[in-house]
Every structure is written in structure tokens, then in C-alpha cells.
Amino acid sequence: DDEGGGGVGGFWTFRRMGYTEAENPSHQVVLISGEGMPVEIEGGNPTMGCRALQPTADEILGALERAARRMGAKPKSIAVDEKSIIARLQLVLGPTGIFCGYYPPPSEEELANMGGPA
């Protein structure tokens, strides 16, 4: 059992590439494993584009399903940085044994360290 990792029983985080239209005009979300490694969603790519700046529960669920198929395993838990979709994700994922929690957006200090606006 790969606790915290990208494999079976791991922890995956869906995190937006930016939190304003200027930072993230194509509404990209990246999927990262517990070790901070990218997790492929499809076509070798760990990112997905969303219709709006805030990802929807259905967009996250679709990406989760595609990534789990590619990995041949589902995580034990996922985290998202959009509070408004957590209740729906918990409702859908609860019966599958996948926990869903909140992963806060990066702080100003983290953004500065990532080369983003500070």
C-alpha cells in the first residue's frame, strides 16, 4: 500500500494553476500526487482545462476517473482548492471509499516562491 503516494491508497490534489483570469486564462487544473509528482489525467498530461476559473465537481470527477484508469488504481483521498464543490464530491465519492477534503490555495509567499505574482 503506497500511503500518501500516487498509487493505490494515495493522496491526490487537484490544484488550479492560477486564481484569476489573468493568471489562468485557460482555467488549468493540475493533478499532483502525495509526493508532489504529476499524475497523468490523459495523453501524458497532468493538467485539464475547465469551463470556468472554478472547477466543477463533474470536471473533477471526470478527471479523477480518467487518471485512476491510467494509473490502474484510485487514491484513498483527494483534495481540491474550491470549497463550493466539496460537499458534492463527498456525496459522490463517499460510497467509493475515496475521501475528499479542502486544499487551500497557495499563500502569497508560496506564489512568490513559484514565480507567480506576490
How does pLDDT run across 54-91, given as a tens digit for each residue? 999 999 999 999 999 999 999 999 999 999 999 999 99
Q: By three-state DSSP, how is residue 36 classified?
A: coil
Q: Is residue 37 part of a domain?
A: yes
pTM confidence score: 0.85
Instruction: Specify if 5 maps to a domain.
Output: no
| Range(s) of the domain holding residue 65 | 11-106
Q: Is residue 3 part of a domain?
A: no
Quick one: pLDDT at residue 17?
95
The domain total for the chain is 1
In a domain, 118, yes or no: no
Contacts 24+ apart (CB under 8 A), 28-31: 29/55, 29/59, 29/60, 29/63, 31/63, 31/67
Flag whether 45 is in a domain. yes
Query: What's the pLDDT tens digit per position in 22-61?
Result: 999 999 999 999 999 999 999 999 999 999 999 999 999 9
Q: CATH number, domain at 40? A: 3.30.420.10
57 domain-assigned: yes
The answer to whether residue 6 sits within a structural domain is: no
